């Protein structure tokens, strides 16, 4: 199941195009290189750099403008015979500088330099090299079409890595006859899958409205000087970027968080947002799992119910429940407690089983405290400790939080850095402590889009699930995770908002 495609991105089209150009250039390379083999080797300037690759002559097509000079009235009537395009030879050199590759070339009217990172992983190393060369070839071709006599190009980069995701942001500086222009190219690589990923769609739309808010809050993130007076403060908020993908189109994933570039009043700024705040909006988790791939193909027109199980994992009851879910081809969401996750190897194993079986792991905080009564620091600690506990076992962070007792205030909403998921149907298992009553109550109340509160630490609840799940299914319901429910009901969960069901 894949999320709705938004049409082919310009980047993708750019990529395809770059690929074709790259292959063309490569072909020329090979031919020229073969010809060069017969010639005598030139002495090379090896100065302070370790020249790794032989001089590679590269043909460059002449500016289109030069052809315009040959145009005469008769030429339009009878096409001129195809003239042999003058070949400009590039003398390209490659220098291996630590974990970076530098290549530069000079020729009449054109000079270019490019750097790109070298990665040890074979797949990533090859992929980034191809991307960089594609970018270079594409940009050179574009610039040559623009004409001009003095053409300069510099492609530099910054890169970063966060568990499983390699990210490179190429900064492209073009200069044609003194006219400067900057562009950028993004490259993203999923190490877990061993393939490049779509950098343009890594973040959901909601991330961008959040970013705009953060920029407003930080005002001038780069110098951070306190406001001198109100006028200056007003000036600082002027020209603030909008909360759109376009406004924050370029980013790089650093160790501390995602670094986004944006413009304010024509000036370039950057802001780094910690991953904890963006995690809900990432299409690929920091461990390289693609979120959408955990959503099953379901019938959007048939009713759905999300059964949710709190306070686990339980070394005995949780695996028993997983078996029942599996048998019925049903899935559920488990809101686990951080301290219970770490409560011995058998609990850790139970959590791993929840994840591996395709069910959803979510956070019920660390120690089941009433968050409303806590300070901001204490709230953050409850959230962070649970995240870390879950990550230490399944290698992935939870994106949904259920506050204990369903209780929250504004601080809880803000510092959970997640959508808060409560419920609209309480199974009352904690109150009934009896299988039949739980079954009867849920069957009487259940409806499409409901989120049902249950607890997988009680044997009578798991017994109830064994009866409830096939019964609900025979009544036409699909038993789904919260993530699946929201996906099919068109709910885009937003950090800091409370959801009781798919409809309220
Ligand atoms: Zn609870």
Quick one: how far is CA 110 from the chain centroid? 36
Spatial separation of the C-alpha atoms in residues 504 and 498, rounded to whole Å: 9
Q: How far is CA 324 from CA 230, 317, 321, 432, 465, in A?
A: 63, 11, 5, 21, 8
pLDDT digits 0-9 by tens, 280-333: 999 998 778 898 899 999 999 999 999 999 999 999 999 999 999 999 999 999
**Given 314, 366, 368, 455, the catalytic residue:** 455
pLDDT digits 0-9 by tens, 417-449: 999 999 999 999 999 999 999 999 999 999 999
CA 406 to centroid of ligand 1, rounded, Å = 8
Spatial separation of the C-alpha atoms in residues 48 and 52, rounded to whole Å: 12
Residue keyed to tokens 């901001």:
376
Q: pLDDT at position 72, please?
A: 31
Q: Residue 53: helix, strand or coil by DSSP?
A: coil
pLDDT digits 0-9 by tens, 405-419: 999 999 999 999 999
Mean pLDDT of 246-256: 94
CA 456 to centroid of ligand 1, rounded, Å = 10
Mean pLDDT of 465-472: 98
Residue 4 pLDDT grade (very low, low, confident, very high; cuts 50, 70, 90): very low
CA 453 to centroid of ligand 1, rounded, Å = 9
User: Beta-carbon neighbour count of residue 325 at 10 Å?
Assistant: 21
Spatial separation of the C-alpha atoms in residues 121 and 131, rounded to whole Å: 15
Q: pLDDT at position 398, please?
A: 95
Beta strands in 191-239 (DSSP E): 195-197
Residue 162 exposed, middle or buried by CB count within 10 Å (0-12, 13-18, 19+): middle
Mean pLDDT of 270-278: 94
Q: pLDDT at position 480, please?
A: 98
Q: pLDDT at position 140, please?
A: 85
Evaluate if residue 63 carries a pLDDT over 70.
no
Query: pTM (2 decimals)?
Result: 0.77
Spatial separation of the C-alpha atoms in residues 228 and 241, rounded to whole Å: 22
CA 404 to centroid of ligand 1, rounded, Å = 5
Q: pLDDT at position 89, please?
A: 45
CA 484, 486, 487, 489 torsion: positive or negative? positive
Mean pLDDT of 23-33: 41
- 245-259, 280-294, 349-363: least confident range: 280-294
Q: pLDDT at position 307, please?
A: 98
User: Beta-carbon neighbour count of residue 7 at 10 Å?
Assistant: 7
CA 291 to centroid of ligand 1, rounded, Å = 25
Q: What letter does residue 51 receive in the DSSP assignment?
A: B
**Given 133, 159, 279, 310, the catalytic residue:** 310
Where is pLDDT greater, at 455 or 77? 455
Q: Given the DSSP bridges, would you call strands 251-253 and 195-197 parallel, antiparallel or unpaired? A: unpaired
Rg, C-alpha atoms of the chain = 29
Answer yes or no: are the C-beta atoms of 414 and 401 closer than 8 Å. Answer: no
Q: Which helix (H) or strand (E) holds 379?
A: helix 376-394
Give residues with Cβ within 8 angstroms of 74, minimum separation 6. none
Is 310 an active-site residue? yes
Evaluate if residue 132 carries a pLDDT over 90.
yes
- 135-149, 190-204, 319-333, 464-478: least confident range: 135-149
Q: pLDDT at position 225, please?
A: 52
Q: Residue 259: helix, strand or coil by DSSP?
A: strand
Q: pLDDT at position 463, please?
A: 98
pLDDT digits 0-9 by tens, 224-249: 455 555 555 566 667 889 999 999 99
Percent of the chain surpassing pLDDT 70: 78
Where is pLDDT greater, at 444 or 108? 444
Evaluate if residue 45 carries a pLDDT over 90.
no
- 101-105, 312-316, 455-459, 487-491: least confident range: 101-105
Q: What number of CA atoms fall less than 13 Å from residue 333's CA on the CB side?
A: 29
CA 412 to centroid of ligand 1, rounded, Å = 16
CA 50 to centroid of ligand 1, rounded, Å = 62
pLDDT digits 0-9 by tens, 196-227: 999 999 999 999 999 999 999 887 545 545 55
CA 376 to centroid of ligand 1, rounded, Å = 20
Percent of the chain surpassing pLDDT 90: 64
Average pLDDT over the chain, rounded to an integer: 82
Mean pLDDT of 123-150: 88
CA 130 to centroid of ligand 1, rounded, Å = 51
Q: Rounded to 5 degrees, what are φ and ψ at 155?
A: -120, 115
Give me the helix-helix angle, 459-474 and 435-445, nearest 10°: 40
Spatial separation of the C-alpha atoms in residues 461 and 426, rounded to whole Å: 12
Is 364 an active-site residue? no
């Amino acid at each position: 199941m894949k999320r709705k495609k938004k049409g082919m991105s310009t980047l993708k089209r750019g990529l395809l195009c770059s690929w074709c150009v790259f292959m063309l250039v490569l072909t020329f390379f090979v031919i020229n290189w073969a010809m060069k083999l017969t010639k005598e080797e030139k002495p090379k300037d090896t100065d302070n750099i370790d020249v790794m690759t032989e001089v590679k002559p590269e043909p460059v097509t002449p500016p289109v403008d030069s052809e315009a000079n040959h145009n005469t009235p008769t030429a339009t009537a009878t096409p001129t015979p195809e003239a042999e395009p003058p070949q400009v030879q590039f003398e390209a050199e490659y220098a291996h500088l630590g974990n970076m590759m530098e290549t530069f070339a000079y020729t009449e009217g054109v000079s270019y330099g490019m750097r790109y990172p070298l990665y040890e992983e074979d797949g990533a190393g090859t992929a980034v090299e191809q991307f960089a060369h594609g970018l270079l070839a594409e940009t050179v071709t574009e610039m040559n079409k623009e004409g001009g006599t003095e053409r300069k190009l510099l492609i530099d980069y910054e890169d970063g890595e966060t568990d499983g995701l390699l990210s490179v942001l190429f900064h492209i500086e073009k200069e044609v006859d003194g006219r400067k222009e900057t562009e950028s190219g993004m490259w993203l690589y999923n190490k877990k899958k061993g393939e490049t990923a779509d950098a343009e769609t890594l973040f959901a739309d909601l991330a961008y409205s959040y970013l705009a808010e953060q920029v407003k809050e930080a005002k001038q993130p780069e110098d951070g000087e306190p406001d001198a007076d109100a006028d200056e403060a007003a000036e600082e908020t002027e020209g603030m970027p909008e909360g759109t993908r376009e406004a924050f189109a370029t980013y790089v994933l650093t160790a501390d968080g995602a670094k986004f570039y944006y413009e304010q009043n024509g000036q370039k700024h950057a802001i780094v947002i910690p991953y904890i705040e963006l995690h809900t909006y990432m299409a690929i988790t920091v461990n390289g799992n693609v979120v959408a791939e955990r959503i099953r193909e379901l019938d959007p027109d048939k009713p759905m119910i999300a059964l949710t199980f709190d306070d686990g994992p339980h070394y005995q009851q949780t695996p028993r429940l997983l078996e029942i879910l599996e048998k019925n081809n049903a899935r559920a969401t488990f809101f686990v407690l951080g301290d219970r996750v770490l409560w011995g190897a058998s609990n850790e194993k139970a959590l791993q089983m929840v994840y591996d079986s395709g069910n959803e792991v979510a956070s019920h905080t660390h120690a089941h405290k009433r968050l409303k009564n806590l300070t901001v620091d204490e709230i953050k600690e409850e959230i962070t400790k649970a995240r870390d506990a879950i990550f230490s076992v399944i290698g992935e962070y939870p994106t949904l939080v259920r506050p204990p007792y369903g209780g929250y205030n504004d601080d809880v909403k803000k510092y959970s850095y997640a959508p808060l998921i409560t419920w609209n149907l309480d199974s009352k298992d904690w109150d009934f402590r009896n299988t039949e009553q739980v079954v009867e109550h849920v069957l009487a109340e259940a409806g499409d889009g409901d989120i049902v509160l249950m607890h997988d630490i009680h044997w009578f609840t798991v017994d109830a699930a064994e009866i409830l799940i096939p019964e609900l299914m025979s009544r036409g319901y699909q038993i789904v995770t919260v993530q699946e429910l929201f996906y099919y009901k068109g709910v885009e969960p937003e950090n800091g908002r409370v959801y009781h069901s798919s409809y309220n």
